[in-house]
A = this chain, B = another copy of it.
Amino acid sequence: MESTDPAARRLRGAVIVTGSEVLAGRVIDKNGPYVSQQFADRGIETAGIIQVGDRREDMLAALGQASSWGVDVIATSGGLGPTADDLTLEVVAEYAGRPLELHEGMREAVWAKVEKVRERFPDIDVESLRRTSLKQSMQPAGATPLPPVGTAPGSLVPPSEGAEGPLVVVLPGPPRELQPMWEDAVAREPLAGLLAQAIPFEERMLRLVGLPESDLAAALSEFEAGGLELDRMEITTCMRSGEIEIVTRYDAEDEALYGRFDAAIRDRYGSRLYSDDGSHVEDVVRRMLLERGWTIGLAESCTGGLVAAKLIDAPGASSFVRGGVVAYDNAVKQSALGVPAEMLDTYGAVSQEVAEAMAQGVLAAVGSDCGLAITGVAGPDGGTEEKPVGTVWFAAVVPGVPPRARKVWIPGDRASVRDRSVTYALHVLRGALEEV
């Protein structure tokens, strides 16, 4: 690996996430993945993420562990609050051999933030606020303070004078505070100088649908056997909601190699490769609907509103989503979507006929140009030999082409069946829109 900048090298980092809710599994940590992705974007490879409780010895041990991975930078999240069990800055100060001292600038910054809280709660005890703000105004000697987003400042803490060791980036726990503070920190020394030494990775993502992961594994082996040097790149593949994501990281000099890999995938999988810019199927469908100036209505049984909710996730959904009908009960399929009772009796609710009638029916129910219907057996009960749990019918109706219906069988529990049904439904709609 070569670079024009002689100082440039591959940096490594670690993340330490504190907090007992995360450790007990009651809260899903978002900070580890966020910082890890930020590291990657800036050419820092994440060696590991450590989740640890608010216990002094465990936190010190975690800092030691991260150092033993040989990292250049450690980011910590959490433990900057006003209460006695918020220990992070104290422990990092001890680890770096830089005792805490009062920082006048931070004292003022924290007090300004606290004043705002006081405006909203005028009967709050001022003396306790003053004590609180004093604890949060301490910084390790020689560290670079990071101004508070909430009420807690962070800190860039270098190793002690003359010593080797990682730079510690101390960040708050709430993601809405951590993320802006990180964005602020990357422009400040000594973090900015460290990042300038990093060699950024290139990172590309491909999303495919309609193939088993084992087939992709076989394809990668064949490409390598055919002379493609895939071992020069870091390729990870991951099944998610019935799709496969291929994420590839490589050095800039390997751009041509990546191009050959990308071409080989396209050659093998054709339109099953549907995204190369990070977009999800809901983004693709949204774009296609907006281009055509069409609106969509949803007719959902087993997915119970999840497809509508997915399309409405994005701002501006009102320009292409009219609404939908959650027709969980067969009586609602009849009354709100006009599915004939005889059709339900003859074919059953989970059938091509009913899926198509639901997709047609929602056009009138919500006044949309296109209709998308989902009806399936999500389980755990209701399966039969002919239609086992996991059987789902999809139908899409778009102007100018015949209705498109598809049946799939989805393994797994109720949550898996519903989750994948959302993805597959959107792919059936995508297929119909592509025909136009």
> Which A residues have a C-beta under 8 Å from some C-beta of B?
20-21, 23-28, 32-34, 36-37, 40, 46-53, 55, 58, 61-62, 64-65, 68-69, 121, 176, 214, 234, 236, 238, 240, 245, 247, 295, 298, 300, 302-309, 311-313, 315-318, 321-329, 331-332, 335-336, 365-367, 379-381, 412, 414-415, 418
List the B side residues contacting A46 at CB < 8 Å: 23-24, 53
* Residues in chain B near residue A234, CB distance under 8 A: 20
Could you say how many copies of this chain the assembly holds? 2
CB distance from A207 to the nearest CB of B (A): 12
Q: Nearest residue in B to A61 (C-beta to C-beta)? A: B68
19 of the cross-chain contacts (CB-CB < 8 Å) are A24-B33, A25-B32, A26-B238, A50-B50, A50-B51, A61-B69, A298-B305, A300-B305, A302-B312, A304-B317, A304-B321, A305-B312, A309-B309, A315-B379, A315-B380, A323-B325, A323-B329, A332-B365, A336-B366
Partner of A316, one of B34, B303, B381: B381
Chain B residue at minimum C-beta to C-beta distance from A325: B325
Contact call B53/A48, Cβ cutoff below 8 A: yes
Given the interface pairs A21-B236, A46-B24, A305-B300, the reply to whether A328 lies near B317 with Cβ below 8 Å is yes
**In the complex, chain B residues whose CB is within 8 Å of the CB of A336:** 323, 325, 336, 365-366
Contacting pair B23 A28 (CB below 8 A) = no
Chain B residues within 8 Å of A380, by CB: 315
The contact of A326 among B64, B295, B298, by CB within 8 Å, is B298
Neighbouring B residues of A47 by C-beta, 8 Å: 52-53, 55, 58
Closest to A205 in B: B26
Chain B contacts for A21, CB-based, 8 A: 236, 238
A24→B37 contact, CB < 8 A: yes
CB-CB nearest in chain B for A217: B83
Q: CA–CA, A335 to B362, complex, Å?
A: 12
| Residues of chain B contacted by A48 (CB below 8 angstroms) | 23, 50-53, 58, 62
